[in-house]
Amino acid sequence: MRLAYLLLPLLLVGCGESTEQAETNIGKETYLRYCFSCHQAGVAGAPSLGDVESWAPRLDKGRAALLQSVIDGIPPAMPIRGLCNSCSDEELAASVDYMLNAVRENARDAGSL
């Protein structure tokens, strides 16, 4: 029995999330908590999650510019840090990546990429 307790940690190695999965989950959690209310419905011109057409001009600016837009806000509609003042830059970046991945996935499905 004692041997089982000693071996259990070794058996569980590798059972956790990968770094990529964890980042995706953080991005999704942040999106659902702070971004969803505007980006799901396209409130005040916010590009809807996965809407390839509304994201196209933003994609041309690049990820770094999109993240900076989240951090700085875009008056009058996009609030500074997307109203998540407690979010780290990494959490905001993960939410941007989550939204960009949704756009890329829909573009691939539609044959646009």
pTM of the model: 0.77
51 C-beta neighbours (distance < 10 Å), count:
15
Q: How far apart are CA 59 and CA 65, in angstroms?
A: 9
Residue 12 lies in a domain: no
The answer to whether the CB of 66 falls within 8 A of the CB of 96 is yes
Domain holding 73, by residue range, is 19-110
Q: Tell me the pLDDT tens digit for each residue of 39-89.
A: 999 999 999 999 999 999 999 999 999 999 999 999 999 999 999 999 999
51 belongs to a structural domain: yes
34/71 Cα distance (integer angstroms): 13
- Please determine, for residue 13, whether its predicted confidence score (pLDDT) is greater than 90: no
How many structural domains does the chain have?
1
